[in-house]
Amino acid sequence: MTQTPAPGAHNAKVMNRFELTKRAVAQLKAEEAVVAGIGNTNFDLWMSGQRPQNFYMLGSMGLAIPIALGVAIAQPQRHVVALEGDGSLLMQLGCLATVAMLKPKNLTMVVWDNGMYQITGGQPTASAAVADIVAVARGCGLANSAWAADEDDFDRLFAAALKDGGPTLIAARIDDKPGTGTTDRDPVQIRQRFMVGLGVRK
């Protein structure tokens, strides 16, 4: 089906998740943590290069932002980025209210909105037609929430977010291209590498 953009996103360009993921990762210069949600969000982060500070969530759909919030609380000196899909976020919208209440300066949330549950067969999400992710985030109290108008705007929003002025939410309309690869499936190895990357383990 053709995606009809949510009201606030009608001027936003439809971009590509892998391209934007690479652009985001290219800006990470201070060993920022990145927590990516289940499915293609994860896969494109994996394919962008396997930083030790990346955590790839293999199950628990919807928990990328809560996991990132936990990291942000534990390590307030480190910036933490959550990458999440629209379907996953719709499953756990309440976490936006919790983040807004706690106001972690070091947390950035990026939402890839393709308006579909892509990995299960492309069924439409509520954000395909009616739910505006940025409006929801603002309604939860996340004032620093915006749609990325195009790639350059995404770069600018992401760079500003990394300056610890958060919490920040950036939503991007993306196309229906599938993920570009798949992660390894070893949760213990993923968790251990992440803890080493965060300096918690040697």
Partner 1 sequence: MTDTQTQTAPWHQVVLETLKRNDVRLVPYVPDRVFTPLIKALHEDSFFTTFPCTREEEAIGIVTGAWMGGMRAAVLMQTSGFGTIPNAIASLVCPSQIPAVIFVSERGTLGEFNLGQAMVCRTMRPVLDALGIETHTITRHDELAFIVDRSIKQAVATQAPVTFILSPLLTGGKVFAA
Smallest gap from residue 108 Cβ to partner 1 (A): 14
- Comparing CB distances to partner 1, the nearer of 9 and 57 is 57
Question: What's the token pair of residue 67?
Answer: 């996991």
Q: Measured over all CA atoms, what is the biggest interatomic distance in the chain, rounded to whole angstroms?
A: 49
Query: Which residue ranges make up the site for partner 1 (CB under 8 A)?
Result: 33, 35, 55, 57-75, 78, 92, 94-95, 97-98, 101-102, 187-188, 190-191, 194-195, 198-200
Question: What's the token pair of residue 38?
Answer: 């289940």
Smallest gap from residue 3 Cβ to partner 1 (A): 28
- Comparing CB distances to partner 1, the nearer of 15 and 190 is 190
- Comparing CB distances to partner 1, the nearer of 69 and 146 is 69
Residues in the chain: 202
- Comparing CB distances to partner 1, the nearer of 101 and 121 is 101
Beta partners for residue 15, in sequence order: 174
Q: Which residue has the tokens 């936003």?
A: 12
The distance from CA 188 to its chain's CA centroid, rounded to whole angstroms, is 22
Q: What is the DSSP letter of 12?
A: S
Smallest gap from residue 182 Cβ to partner 1 (A): 17
Smallest gap from residue 46 Cβ to partner 1 (A): 16
200: three-class secondary structure by DSSP: coil
